[in-house]
Chains A and B, each alone.
Chain A
Amino acid sequence: AQSVTQLDSHVSVSEGTPVLLRCNYSSSYSPSLFWYVQHPNKGLQLLLKYTSAATLVKGINGFEAEFKKSETSFHLTKPSAHMSDAAEYFCVVSVDYGGATNKLIFGTGTLLAVQP
């Protein structure tokens, strides 16, 4: 069965320093992977998605993620954190049985704090 594990529940960085949010996946076939972000009192916003076309995926707001099959990882990174990046980040795998719809399996989330 497909699943994702987010290795850190909380990450704190200083503004201007790099961000690394870790995610490992489990999938019996080539997965579709996503990162979503949830700012306080807001909905879930798509940051980026892995489609198997390229292992390094660029998303919005300077975030990117690298798919590493050998490590079953899909870590999210950003070279320089901004105060506005403070939010909860979810690593997500899509389960698609070939029907009309798919369903998303969410990780437990990583709360990113950015210190001034």
Chain B
Amino acid sequence: SQQGEEDPQALSIQEGENATMNCSYKTSINNLQWYRQNSGRGLVHLILIRSNEREKHSGRLRVTLDTSKKSSSLLITASRAADTASYFCATGRLTGGGNKLTFGTGTQLKVEL
């Protein structure tokens, strides 16, 4: 079952614009992660934010986390055609001695020239 739902399901923007994707989840978490997937490939980790953090930056990526609303957002600034991919949030819950990672439904981002 999905822990997170992403919004929007699909997003099309022009190169140079910012892209914002949102993730909502249902249960308590210890961390939230964002991944990227190019068509037909494995997922690649982008950024991790802990439950006691509110904002994190990595290059052109900015992630926010609001645990009271059970939501997170991923902002990609100055998008490039190469950013075209699917983006997934994943919630991490410490359970049974491990970190259970459950993925959302994903947002398909298309960046056009």
Same complex for A and B? Answer: no
Interface residues of A (CB under 8 A from B): none
B residues at A contact (CB < 8 Å): none
